[in-house]
Chain A
Amino acid sequence: DQQVKQNSPSLSVQEGRISILNCDYTNSMFDYFLWYKKYPAEGPTFLISISSIKDKNEDGRFTVFLNKSAKHLSLHIVPSQPGDSAVYFCAANPQGGSEKLVFGKGTKLTVNP
Chain B
Amino acid sequence: NAGVTQTPKFRILKIGQSMTLQCTQDMNHNYMYWYRQDPGMGLKLIYYSVGAGITDKGEVPNGYNVSRSTTEDFPLRLELAAPSQTSVYFCASRTTDRGGQPQHFGDGTRLSIL
Question: Across the two chains, which residue of chain B brings its CB closest to A39?
Answer: B107
Q: In the assembled complex, which residues on chain A have CB atoms less than 8 Å from the CB atom of B104?
A: 46
Interface membership of chain A positions 13-43, coded 1 if the CB is closer than 8 angstroms to chain B and 0 otherwise = 0000000000000000001101010000111
A33 to B40, CA, bound (A): 21
Interface membership of chain A positions 75-113, coded 1 if the CB is closer than 8 angstroms to chain B and 0 otherwise = 000000000000001000101010111011110000000
Would you call A49 and B102 a contact (CB within 8 A)? yes
**A103 partner, pick from B42, B102, B106, beta carbons under 8 A:** B42
Q: In the assembled complex, which residues on chain A have CB atoms less than 8 Å from the CB atom of B58?
A: 100
Within the complex, what minimum Cβ distance (angstroms) separates B46 from chain A? 11
A103 to B92, CA, bound (A): 14
Q: In the assembled complex, which residues on chain B have CB atoms less than 8 Å from the CB atom of A36?
A: 102, 105
Within the complex, what minimum Cβ distance (angstroms) separates B7 from chain A? 13
Q: Is A67's CB within 8 Å of the partner chain B?
A: no
Chain A residues in contact with chain B, CB under 8 A?
4, 9, 31-32, 34, 36, 41-46, 49, 51, 89, 93, 95, 97, 99-101, 103-106
Chain B residues in contact with chain A, CB under 8 A?
4, 31, 33, 40-45, 48, 50, 56, 58-59, 90, 92, 97, 99-100, 102-108
